[in-house]
Structure 1
Amino acid sequence: MEAAGATLGVEEEFHVLSGPDGRLSPGSRRLLALTEGEEAVEREFQDSMIETATPVCHDLPGLRTALLGTRRTLVEAADKAGLWLAASGTVPASGTPMGSTFADERYRRISDEYRRLADEQQVCACQVQVGVPDRDLAVQVIARLRGWLPTLLALSASSPFFQQTDSGYASYRAIVLSRWPTNGPPPIHPDYASHLRSVETLIRAGVISDHGMVYYDARPSYKYPTIELRIADACPELDDVLVVAALCRALVITGAAAEFAGERPSYVPDDLLRGATWRAARSGLRGQLIDPYAAEPVRAPVLVGRLLAHLRPALEFTGDWELVSDGVAAILRRGTSAEDQRRILGSGEGLPGIARALVARTRAAL
């Protein structure tokens, strides 16, 4: 059996835009037709969204190559279709009426049940899958890493605009998602059977319709032997995706090592963790964040430093320390995508200028 963290992969979600005006486009089916036979490209909830998934990777160089490949495939299809793509939590037009949910029985059922929540689900994530072959271990590791998830959100925040206005948040995507009944901090369970019973209870009660509607910030995958870390906004910069993925893997490796060593896990109350997630969504890397383990407000760079110190042994073990420490330093220096978007608006380019910049940054590494 492979060790926890031996594999990783990334699912990236993209907004589909009509062009320089920044409007959302219901063009995902055209992109799917142009990429038919490409397993990496998948449908998403809204017609104005599309997703890519890397193959299973074993290291960051391999993951970078895979991400370049999936982005390139999708961008080439978009060029043929006359469409634009933006990897970001939101674009300014997110949350505005257009198109519909993808023509899929499951998505239509969810749309009919959840109504406005589904209508406004025009937000995109960067989801990291980290291999954990033992499902009981996966549940136990999630209980150990969940207090660090808000820090990942703060680092990746890229969704300040929604419904053509500045939301006042660095990640308004997190606020949009928080309205769903199974979103937020993952519940603590002693084993996978307990997690499964909880999910099946929610299905029987009619709260959710299937296992795919478990939207917690981290969850054991129902399909694969992985932990899926779902809290990060989609990142326009490819290097930021790699930083997020490496941090996710290091969290899993660190949690698994602590579990095997028999270390007592630090308990973080759900209400404090929800508060830390809200603060990360509100502030990003500017102002105060909340350290759930110390139950205290701290400046964002301090909390990020604590995360790196916690993960350094795992990052050195995987050979990722230099890339991650340099990458995090770069994010702290230049700010998040949310800050970049506000600078663009302040320069006078308007909301369409933000969309154009996000498209350019999504393509930049290609």
Structure 2
Amino acid sequence: MADKIRHTTSFLTKRSVKCAHCKQGVPARTSPARDVHRCTEGHNHLVTLRTGPRTFGVEEELLLVDPATGVPQAVSGSVIRYAQRHDELFLTGGRRSKPLETELQREQLETATPVCTSLAEISEHVRSARLAAAQSAAGVGVSVAALATSPVTVRPSLTPSHRYQRMLVAYGLAMDDQLTCGCHVHVGIESPDEGVAVLDRIRPWLPPLLALSANSPFWQGADTGYDSWRHEVWGRWPSSGPTELFGSAKAYRTTVEALLATGALLDEGMIYFDARLSRHYPTVEIRVPDVCLNADDAVLMAALVRALVDTAANAWREGDPPDPVRADLMRLAMWRAGRSGLRDDLVHPSTRCAAPAEQVVGALLDHLTPALDRSGDLDTVTAMLDGVLERGNGAQFQRAIYSRTHDVTAVAAAAVQHTVTV
């Protein structure tokens, strides 16, 4: 996904923090966006303080499907041209939403919210972006479906692009049949050092996001047995998945340069970590969730991710070290989340042992409660999580439709309805 969500530095407030090196108190004062302070041990370091909530935004990939058959249609160019002729569809609350964008395959497109500061604001823009995409698609005779993979058999058609053609030559089938849709959440950060500290500290908590959002049980007309087959398909890319601890922005940059030096990646845009720094804007981008069937669940993903970032940044400022969990254990935890979603055990982020999904989700909420309380989102997020645990994720919804109809076309039709109405 392209980085299209621009974030700005928030205002600062007067308080004190701890030196990340020695945990000594650091006198902090009302200041510009960035101030260098010296702690009692003589360490120079950057202090950034904020008064308001972090900015955030959501990008969603959607399938373009035939309204009658559910078969994905290679019409993204036509849909976007229609949208460009009807830009009034993208005006919400006096703000213009981001325009629709093409994606890897012509059977999909991407929406993006503007930069938001509240849950109510992001909810409004997620819904309006989906509606604008649906209206634009209807203008050329197709529907949009928030499905992370197509339940109906499809042979995707690559979006015309010199870069994509190079990727096809380089990666073969991994590129050729890559038709998956994700939900990517951007959250504002104050510096690359803060961003990398966040990446290091959120790692154990990413698998529950996949379990909650999982919305891709079908592939080429068959039930895969996975709640998120998208996660398995995406794992074919050479740079995808969890990372080891970086420790610093310099180490992050060194890692990226080392990966590029292998020649296995075409460019830096192919750094497909589960969570990464934006190349263009001061954000971290969390790329784990499937695109969610319901708009409510997309809003939930945004709220959880922002709270994760805020919690991690606070821990870094307090000098608390990241959990040193290995990347191979993280990979297993992600596999477990994609395999069974909320239907079975997950790997508990604290104990590394199998635990019921509901218990792991509860641990996630406990971990994020202070941040959610500060942003005023605790009650809303608690109710949203209860709702997902009660009704199930998107994969469970799709399987329920299929168990009644034995028809993947009916699954696609139900998804079309839920994309813009729930």
Distance in 2 between residues matched to 1:70 and 1:256, nearest whole Å: 30
Distance 2:415 2:150 in 1: 8
Q: Structure 1 233/5 Cα, relative in aligned 2: closer, same or farther at 3 Å? A: farther
**1:217 and 2:279 matched:** no
In the alignment, what sits opposite 2:133? 74
Which stretch shifts more, 193-202 or 286-295? 193-202
* Cα separation, 2, equivalents of 1:133 and 1:18: 44
Matched to 2:187, the amino acid is V
CA contact (8 A) 1:5 1:252 kept: no
Aligned equivalent of 1:155: 212
Structure number, greater radius of gyration: 2
The question of 1:97 aligning with 2:170 is answered no
Give runs of ≥4 in structure 1 deviating > 4 Å: none
Gaps of 5+ in 2: 1-8, 11-49, 91-97
Higher helix share: 1
Matched, 1:334 2:391: yes
Q: For 2:243 and 2:128, how far apart are their aligned partners in 1?
A: 32
SS of the aligned residue for 1:81 comes to coil
Is this contact kept in 2: 1:86–1:359, CA < 8 A? yes
> Are the equivalent residues in 2 in contact too, given 1:89–1:234 (CA < 8 A)?
yes
Q: Which residue of 63, 67, 83 maps to 1:19?
A: 67
Q: Partner amino acid for 1:12?
A: E
SS at match of 2:333: helix
| Structure 2: distance between partners of 1:116 and 1:192 | 34
Aligned-partner Cα distance in 2 for 1:14–1:67 = 12
Structure 1 window deviating more from structure 2 (202-211 vs 337-346): it is: 202-211
Cα shift at 1:349: 4.8
Report deviation, 1:314. Answer: 0.2
Q: TM-score, normalised by structure 2?
A: 0.84
Tell me, in whole angstroms, the C-alpha distance in 1 between the residues paired with 2:117 and 2:150: 32
- Does 1:304 pair with 2:352? no
Under a length normalisation based on structure 1, what TM-score does the superposition of the two structures give? 0.96
Distance 1:351 1:254 in 2: 41
Q: Secondary structure at the match of 1:216?
A: coil
Q: Does 1:44 align with 2:103?
A: yes
Q: C-alpha offsets along residues 236-266 of structure 1, whole Å, 9 cap, x if unaligned?
A: 2011111110000000000000000011222
Aligned: 1:6 with 2:54: yes
Q: Which residue of 1 aligns with 2:18?
A: none
Range moving further from structure 2, 43-52 or 197-206: 197-206
Q: Sequence identity of aligned pairs in percent?
A: 38
User: Contact 1:15/1:88 (CA < 8 Å) preserved in 2?
Assistant: yes
Alpha-carbon separation, structure 2, partners of 1:8 and 1:161: 31
Residues of 2 paired with 1:68 and 1:302: CA distance? 30
* 2:251 corresponds to 1:194: yes
Q: Is the 8 A contact 2:53 2:375 kept in 1?
A: no
Deviation, 1:5, is 5.6
Correspondent of 1:83 among 122, 125, 142: 142
Letter of the 2:185 partner, please give it: V
Deviations 1:42-64 (A, max 9, x none): 11000111001111111111111
Q: Indicate yes or no: 2:363 matched with 1:315.
A: no
Kindly state the Cα deviation for residue 193 of structure 1 after the two structures are TM-superposed: 2.3
Indicate yes or no: 2:126 matched with 1:126.
no
Distance, in Å, in 1 between the alignment partners of 2:342 and 2:366 is: 18
Q: Does the 8 Å CA contact 2:127/2:420 hold for their aligned counterparts?
A: no
Counterpart check, 1:146 vs 2:194: no
Which deviates further from its counterpart, 277-286 or 195-204? 195-204
CA drift at 1:223: 1.1
Q: Quick check: 2:191–2:282 contact (8 Å CA) kept in 1?
A: yes
- Secondary structure in 1 aligned to 2:139? helix
Which deviates more, 37-46 or 135-144? 37-46
Match of 2:351 in 1: 294
CA distance in 2, matches of 1:197, 1:111: 27
The answer on whether the counterparts of 1:20 and 1:355 sit within 8 Å (CA) in structure 2 is: no
Where does residue 226 of structure 1 map in the other structure? 283
Residue 58 (1) aligns with residue 117 (2) = yes
Give the secondary-structure state (helix, strand or coil) at the position aligned to 1:298. Answer: strand
Contact 2:242 2:274 in 1 (8 A): yes
| Cα RMSD after superposing both structures | 1.4
Equivalent in the alignment of 1:364: 421
